[in-house]
Amino acid sequence: MSDKKKPINPHTYKFDTLSLHAGYQPHKNAGSRQVPIYQTTSYLFDDVDHAAALFNLERGGHIYSRISNPTVGVLEERVASLEGGTAALATSSGMAAIFLTVMTLCEAGDHLVVSSQLYGGTVNLFRLTLPKFGIKTTFVKPRDTEGFKKAIQKNTKGIFGELVGNPGNELMNMPEIANIAHDAGIPLIVDATYQTPYLCKPFEHGADIVVHSLTKWMAGHGSSMAGILVEGGKFDWMQNDKFPTMTKPYEGYHGLSFAEEFGPTAFTMKARAEGMRDFGPCLSPQNAWNVLQGIETLSVRMKKHCSNAEEMVKYLLAHESVAWVSHPSVPDHPDHELAKKLLPNGRGSMIAFGIKGGKDAGVAFINNVKLSSHLANVGDTRTLVIHPASGTHSQMDEATLKFAGLSHDMIRLSVGIEDINDIKNDFEIGFRAAKKPRLVSNQ
Amino acid sequence: MKFKVDNNEVFASTGGRPFDKNKPLIIFVHGSGLTHMTWVLQTRYFAFHGYSVLALDLPGHGLSSGESLKSIEEMSDWLSKVIDAVGYKEASLVGHSQGCLVTIECASKYSNKIKTLSLIGGAGAIPMNPELLSLAENNDPKAVDLMMDWAHGPAGHFGGHPVPGLYHINTGTMLAKTRTIKNTLGVDFRACDNYKNGFEAAKKIKIPTLSILATDDKMCPVKEGKKLADLIEGSQVDIIDNCGHMMLLEEADRVLAVLKKFITSKYPPKEIKK
């Protein structure tokens, strides 16, 4: 036997355990093994002093379910733990999480630098809606790392992007763009919906705030809308004078400075105390509970999503009806090497491919697949397909479509966890129909 | 607020209220490698209920400038100077972990200045695991991971933070990484390890003293906390079940309730007559 002393190691819980347990203590909930659904709007105060202390952030606790709810709180802690974040705030949808993040960060007159390859709804938020609040955006193509630097202005308050862009699968070079943001004294905000913390933890690569649509892979079941913003806790809001609403006394809470009082959780505290109070895009406890059911099996599902996606990539690459395939697992994908670094556990289950025959062929394909569902969602356990130019991104004009990297022959595929041969057989039906778009239809 | 001690700028949270010299003063002293932010669920309450509050960042920690002080004795002298620097003649002290060593030493040495002493997760001595000490002094982030592991009770490892949405271990980790680990945690751990005067200092303390201990505290176990409390005349002890060393966050409401009862009875929030 060696007499060498065994090194001491921390025994904090690991990812799969946290997926099942984080954020919840049964002994404080009547011993209930499952997280209870606190279907209530409001919470009794012990006395007037207790009420005042809760309203004034002197004590932790719940006041009104628009601001916080115990079931939703478990979800928030669970996602924060999985991401390696300090705190999280769940919202009614992913879009609500993005909006709340921007409104917590920015004021009228501020500017953001944003990746051009985003979900169509997010593009519209930055391009059309936020300017109405006096917040302007410069879009930069996700691979144009230097472009992010050039686009930063004096009034820029952050960089935002999807790590893997929707729907073209272009990657942002997150570590380099994080350095650019930090050199400018601003945070990097990453939408990591496509990855979930199982595939990538953006905080480990320099992100400061992560947003998710929990509706997608995190929940997996396609039954419930939900979103979340998660705070990494490293960003120093006091390093410059760009974020006065974080660092200066805030009238809404008797002169509270969020950065001074709450440090690594300051952004989430402000987003809840101000954003949830004033905008109110809260998550229902039932939907929070539904999402928690999905998260319990996150790693199991993500492994199957990724293995099925890689099988589908091989199938599509070899198919005579397919013009091109975009997925970071493909060796000639421009971001293949970056994806290996940022997504070591799998490259995700979103595939974009071009169908020979253009838009008409795409429409025929979509109209004729039977197992695959044609709908405006991704990350369901079931396989989903859509033609972005006529669906999710249809509100974009031609120039914006082109800038966002969309083509009329593109089909977006969210690979489910069905038997892989059943998915391939279903696609054969679609491809056969696509060869004769005028003769075959499901009408 | 910021003020100067020994020509270095000191940061202290005033609990979200302007510092008011007409109110009795409570000073909160954080544990090894941490900052004033560990106290947020106690300080704001006292600040809005008749007290002036200073949750300090020790020199070289958090938002305070200067270098970390290398011994508990130096920290206790510095703490006495803090009271002078803000224009007070007396204060009530609350310490957590290493902060207990600092406040015990201060209360024994400057007995005329200190009105009450509240020790949270305290012991008369805090000898460090040699490997943990070495990791911290060598700037290894594993030191923080180990500290967070040992500092949280089994329940705290799962979460269940009193403030909705906050996750205990990751928040603590970020607090401990606010500054360079070897310059904060490394120096603090060495200071704790070297300090041998805790039990002797305790014997000299004659002011009202409260010890809050937790059944699952691995860093300052109940047995050690009681040993210290037994040496302080008339000391009160409160023990929290199913909780670890970070009781001021893990069981923030309980800690606040016990502190409130103790401090408001022994050092009431009345206007100070100048």
Predicted confidence (pLDDT) per residue in A115-174, tens digit: 999 988 999 999 999 999 999 999 999 999 999 999 999 999 999 999 998 888 999 999
Closest CB to B167 among A57, A70, A86: A86
Closest CB to A22 among B159, B177, B253: B159
Are A79 and A15 in contact by the 8 Å Cβ rule? The answer is no
Same structural domain, A214 and A324: no
* Mean of pLDDT values over A88-108: 98
Same structural domain, A146 and A188: yes
Hey, is the C-beta of B155 within 8 angstroms of any chain A C-beta?
yes
DSSP assignment string, A106-121: --TT-EEEEES---HH
Flag whether A323 is in a domain.
Answer: yes
Q: What's the domain count of chain A?
A: 2
Residue of B nearest to A67 (CA): B164
Hey, is the C-beta of B134 within 8 angstroms of any chain A C-beta?
no
User: Does A439 score more than 60 pLDDT?
Assistant: no
| pLDDT reported for residue B271 | 60
CATH code of A255's domain: 3.40.640.10
Q: Which residues, at least 6 apart from B217, have a Cβ–Cβ distance to it below 8 Å?
A: B121, B153, B225, B243, B244, B245, B247
pLDDT band at B270 (very low <50, low <70, confident <90, very high): confident
Flag whether A37 is in a domain.
Answer: yes
Comparing A69-78, A255-264, A425-434, B224-233, which segment has the lowest mean pLDDT?
A255-264
Please report, for residues A169, A172, A182, A257, the alpha-carbon distance to residue A342 in angstroms, rounded to integers and kept in the order given: 14, 10, 19, 35
* Number of residues that make up chain A: 443
User: What per-residue string of b and e applies to B144-168 under the rule 16 or more CB within 10 Å gives b?
Assistant: bbbbbbbbbbebbbbbbbbbbbbbb
Distance CA A429, CA A369 (A): 6
Q: Which residue has the higher pLDDT, A226 or A390?
A: A226
User: Cβ contact (<8 Å) for B167 and A88?
Assistant: yes
Flag whether A8 is in a domain.
Answer: no
Hey, is the C-beta of B178 within 8 angstroms of any chain A C-beta?
yes
Distance CA A204, CA A305 (A): 23
Hey, is the C-beta of B50 within 8 angstroms of any chain A C-beta?
no
Same structural domain, A259 and A112: yes
User: Does B192 score more than 70 pLDDT?
Assistant: yes
* Mean of pLDDT values over B139-162: 93
Same structural domain, A269 and A310: no
User: Does B211 score more than 50 pLDDT?
Assistant: yes
Same structural domain, A154 and A70: yes
The first and second tokens of residue A284, run together, are 């229902």
| pLDDT reported for residue A393 | 65
Hey, is the C-beta of B242 within 8 angstroms of any chain A C-beta?
yes
* Mean of pLDDT values over B114-135: 97
Flag whether A284 is in a domain.
Answer: yes
Same structural domain, A83 and A208: yes
In this prediction, the answer to ipTM > 0.90 reads yes
| pLDDT reported for residue A442 | 46
Same structural domain, A131 and A158: yes
pLDDT band at A399 (very low <50, low <70, confident <90, very high): confident
User: Does A198 score more than 60 pLDDT?
Assistant: yes
User: Does A4 score more than 70 pLDDT?
Assistant: no
Residue A303, CB-side half-sphere exposure with 13 Å CA sphere: 4
Q: End-to-end CA distance of chain A: give it in Å, rounded.
A: 75
Flag whether A3 is in a domain.
Answer: no
Residue of B nearest to A253 (CA): B16
| pLDDT reported for residue A329 | 95
CATH code of A307's domain: 3.90.1150.10
**Which site among B150, B167, B174 would you substitute to test the A interface, given the most A Cβ atoms closer than 10 Å to its Cβ?**
B167
* Chain A nearest C-alpha distance from B112 (Å): 31
Last residue of a domain, one of A269, A295, A321: A295
DSSP-based three-state secondary structure for A312: helix
* Chain B nearest C-alpha distance from A145 (Å): 28
Same structural domain, A135 and A22: yes
* Chain A nearest C-alpha distance from B273 (Å): 26
User: Does A400 score more than 80 pLDDT?
Assistant: no
* Chain B nearest C-alpha distance from A252 (Å): 12
User: Does B185 score more than 90 pLDDT?
Assistant: yes
Flag whether A2 is in a domain.
Answer: no
In chain A, what percentage of residues exceed pLDDT 90?
A: 84
Q: A137 forms bridges with which residues in the sheet?
A: A112
Cβ-based contacts of A85 with chain B (< 8 Å): 167, 170
Q: Cα angle at A326 between A381 and A435, to 5 degrees?
A: 85
Task: State the residue range of the domain holding A399.
Answer: 299-435
Hey, is the C-beta of B48 within 8 angstroms of any chain A C-beta?
yes
User: Cβ contact (<8 Å) for A10 and B149?
Assistant: yes
User: Cβ contact (<8 Å) for B174 and A22?
Assistant: no
Same structural domain, A344 and A247: no
* Mean of pLDDT values over B176-192: 96
* Mean of pLDDT values over B49-71: 97
Same structural domain, A220 and A359: no
* Mean of pLDDT values over A79-102: 98
Same structural domain, A223 and A251: yes
User: Does B184 score more than 80 pLDDT?
Assistant: yes
pLDDT tens figures, A319-378: 999 999 999 999 999 999 999 999 999 999 999 999 999 888 999 999 999 999 999 899
The first and second tokens of residue B164, run together, are 């909705």
Domain B2-126+195-266: assigned CATH number: 3.40.50.1820
| pLDDT reported for residue A443 | 41
The first and second tokens of residue B66, run together, are 């200067």
Hey, is the C-beta of B269 within 8 angstroms of any chain A C-beta?
no
Chain A residues 325-384 within an 8 A CB cutoff of chain B: none
Comparing A385-394, B174-183, B229-238, B263-272, which segment has the lowest mean pLDDT?
A385-394
Q: Of A413, A316, A323, which is closest to residue A371 (Cα–Cα)? A: A413
The first and second tokens of residue A65, run together, are 């379910």
Q: What is the mean pLDDT of chain A?
A: 93
User: Does B178 score more than 60 pLDDT?
Assistant: yes
Same structural domain, A314 and A265: no
Closest CB to A22 among B62, B158, B164: B158
pLDDT band at A441 (very low <50, low <70, confident <90, very high): very low
Q: Determine phi and psi for A391, rounding to 5 degrees.
A: -125, -100
Closest CB to A53 among B13, B18, B45: B45
User: Cβ contact (<8 Å) for A263 and B148?
Assistant: no
| pLDDT reported for residue A120 | 85
